[in-house]
Structure 1
Amino acid sequence: MKDYHYLKRANTPFIDRHVTKVTDLIKTWDGNSIHDIGLIGVPLSKTSISHSGAAFAPQTIRKALGAFTTYSIDDDLDLSSWKIDDLGDVTMHVTDLLVSQNRVYETLEQLFLNHPHFIPIVLGGDNSISYPTIKAFSKAKGKVGVIQFDAHHDVRNLEDGGPSNGTPFRSLIESKTIQGKHLVQVGIRDFANSREYRTYAKENDVVVHSMKEVRERNIVDILKADLEIIKKDVDVIYVSVDMDVLDQSQAPGCPAIGPGGMDAITLFEAISYLAQDEKVKGLEIVELDPTVDFRDMTSRVAAHVILNFLKGKQKSGYKHV
């Protein structure tokens, strides 16, 4: 039989023997032990108060990871030793939003309790998933502190629209899942919130850093001060990244784009710094709508958030499972 050396299966990507892509590290979970990182898709966006196709984001972020290598030239380190299990997606109920949110809680609670050593990276979905996700994280891990990158406070009242993508942190505070003083909000944007919700945050001792402050101060200096305070009083820290914290020019694929936001490099620096702390044990990425994105620009930024998280963990000397 002749050897057709140059005939390859359709859609086979170019392979360079000296290059490792991030997707080479990701394996489909076999249902047994989970290694270093567990990717979890939470494709829920029907709870958004505006039009959103964020339910499609878990797949586009996974795809975007395939565009990048494991080597960081900035820090001369390689992420190729990481073992990442893709745990799949939580199945959403077709019509019942509360059932969908409860499925997120039940699924993650069991994963966190049964596999206590892996670090979850949750791919949303809209911001409503933060309530059941962090609630499950708290149930399994103990007292939780949250660093939230967001243009919005997300503490809307629950009477006008129920538990939506604008209410997760109010739900977390009022359910006593977290204390307001253990919530740090970074990147809150001008003309994107109301006085009422700024007052609510103040009354509940939430630490708020506006975009004006982020522009005027070094992001690591801001976070260093916050970490020193909250890490003394919590068991674990969870990082929540709403992609609309970024300026609309760098994250066009967000339902709530706006000017005056954070630049991607500042976000990457922040995530890498936070990941170096041993109490930072979880990451979520929410509010990315691939249906309004341009050439997957925002999904690629989200992929870099994940890579900078892994880089920070590796720089800290994190021991692989």
Structure 2
Amino acid sequence: MKSFLYPNIHPPSFTWINAEKTQIEKVHEWIKPITNKSNPVECKTAEIIVLGVPLSRSSISVSGASEFPEAFRRSWRSFTTYNLEDDIDLSSMEILDAGDVPMHVTDIRKCHQNIIQASTALYNHFPASTICAIGGDHSITAMMVKGMHRAYPVKKIGILQFDTHFDLRDLSDNGPSNGTPMRNLIESGDVNGTDMYNIGLHGFFNSQDLKNYADEKGVHYFTLRQMRKAGVRETVHQCLEELSSKVDVIYLTVDMDVLDIAYAPGVPASTPGGMTTEELLEGVLEAGKHPSVMSMDIVCLDPLKDAHAQPTVKLGTHVFLTFLTGVMLRKV
């Protein structure tokens, strides 16, 4: 069924059919899709809006990340809304699934334009909600942020990035791909390089010219070694405090390739020596607690590469729920 957001956003690729329950226990019972029966005015009260962005044709490496939004939705049944470690039940939050951005079969630039339009529509209609985009490859981040900038042209945007890579490749060589989103935003003027903070760089997966470009543009970055020396929570807190003193709103982007291949086999550019699951979840929780973080995405998770039982898909959903736990902790 279409919704009031159509044609910028299509209905979800997968929805759960649930019997009415007086007590919500599972995530699939909690997150409701926006349909043509949804009241646009009543929907504005939602604290969280989920958006699927099923694009991976713009990935440098072979990727089925376009399959993650549906796999993400299907995984909800495996999770409860109660977080034992923080003694918090997320079901008191109002959360809606807006559906998926429509994608062109062959035209990547058209896909990117669709993401910008969908992002703009969401930020215009839900100015008080936290938007959570489920990718898709990392090229979607630039488009989601561009949409935010269109909706809020006077607001200054900062980015907190968990990533193995700088994602600052030359656009003239790589185009608007998953290797260029941060450079795309710098060169378009949507985000200043000095307002980008990257945590998780490690090993032999970035060229020196990308580091030189980051230094030239004033991008802030912390290698895994630096993060571990200072502590993940302390590093994230430092980044957020510095960012919030300079910008109006912070966009969190989680590239799942920041994780060690042992923890996340289902990513297109998996690497050894990356973050542990515990480190990423701790960092995302800290980011979720900060009131300036009003948007987030999870990108570069390929269910087709995942091992039996889809451990990376489940971890991606865990990252999402951990972020929401942080959002709830703002009220405590």
**Structure 1 length as normaliser, TM-score?**
0.92
Over alpha carbons, which structure has the higher Rg?
A: 1
Cα distance, 1:115 vs structure 2: 2.0
Corresponding position: 1:43 with 2:22: no
What is the letter of the counterpart of residue 47 of structure 2?
A: D
Residue in 2 that maps onto 1:181:
194
Corresponding position: 1:78 with 2:83: no
In structure 2, how many angstroms separate the alpha carbons of the residues matched to 1:86 and 1:178?
27
Corresponding position: 1:255 with 2:259: no
Cα distance, 1:18 vs structure 2: 7.4
Q: Pick from 159, 168, 181 the counterpart of residue 155 of structure 1.
A: 168
Residue in 2 that maps onto 1:317:
331
Corresponding position: 1:132 with 2:143: yes
Q: 1:179 to 1:19 in 2, by over 3 A?
A: same
Residue in 1 that maps onto 2:69:
58
What is the letter of the counterpart of residue 314 of structure 2?
A: R
User: How many residues are treated as equivalent by the alignment?
Assistant: 308
1:269-284 equivalence runs, <5 A: 269-284=282-297
1:1-321 equivalence runs, <5 A: 20-30=25-35, 32=40, 33-34=43-44, 35-141=46-152, 142-294=155-307, 295-317=309-331
Runs of 4+ off more than 6 Å = 16-19
Deviations 1:37-72 (A, max 9, x none): 111001000001111000000011112222111111
Higher deviation after alignment, 113-122 or 50-59: 113-122
> What SS class does the counterpart of residue 136 from structure 1 fall into?
helix
> What SS class does the counterpart of residue 312 from structure 1 fall into?
helix
Answer yes or no: is the 8 Å Cα contact 1:190–1:211 preserved in 2.
no
Aligned CA-pair RMSD: 2.0
In structure 2, how many angstroms separate the alpha carbons of the residues matched to 1:237 and 1:145?
5
What is the letter of the counterpart of residue 80 of structure 2?
A: T
Answer yes or no: is the 8 Å Cα contact 2:160–2:239 preserved in 1.
no
Deviations 1:261-303 (A, max 9, x none): 0011111111111111111101100000110101211111111
In structure 1, how many angstroms separate the alpha carbons of the residues matched to 2:112 and 2:172?
18
Question: Structure 1 regions of 5+ residues with no counterpart?
Answer: 1-10
Q: 1:87 to 1:300 in 2, by over 3 A?
A: same
In structure 2, how many angstroms separate the alpha carbons of the residues matched to 1:137 and 1:189?
30
What is the letter of the counterpart of residue 215 of structure 2?
A: K
What is the letter of the counterpart of residue 48 of structure 1?
A: S
> What SS class does the counterpart of residue 221 from structure 1 fall into?
helix
Cα distance, 1:317 vs structure 2: 0.5
In structure 1, how many angstroms separate the alpha carbons of the residues matched to 2:104 and 2:116?
13
What is the letter of the counterpart of residue 236 of structure 1?
A: V
What is the letter of the counterpart of residue 267 of structure 1?
A: L
Question: Structure 2 regions of 5+ residues with no counterpart?
Answer: 1-15
Answer yes or no: is the 8 Å Cα contact 1:44–1:124 preserved in 2.
yes
**Structure 2 length as normaliser, TM-score?**
0.89
Cα distance, 1:217 vs structure 2: 2.3
What is the letter of the counterpart of residue 329 of structure 2?
A: K
Cα distance, 1:114 vs structure 2: 2.2
What is the letter of the counterpart of residue 26 of structure 1?
A: I
Answer yes or no: is the 8 Å Cα contact 1:182–1:206 preserved in 2.
yes
What is the letter of the counterpart of residue 275 of structure 1?
A: G
Residue in 2 that maps onto 1:4:
none
Cα distance, 1:24 vs structure 2: 1.2
Cα distance, 1:12 vs structure 2: 9.6
In structure 1, how many angstroms separate the alpha carbons of the residues matched to 2:212 and 2:118?
34
What is the letter of the counterpart of residue 143 of structure 2?
A: P
Deviations 1:190-215 (A, max 9, x none): 10000000110111111111111123
Answer yes or no: is the 8 Å Cα contact 2:284–2:319 preserved in 1.
yes
> What SS class does the counterpart of residue 200 from structure 2 fall into?
strand
**Identity, % of aligned positions:** 39
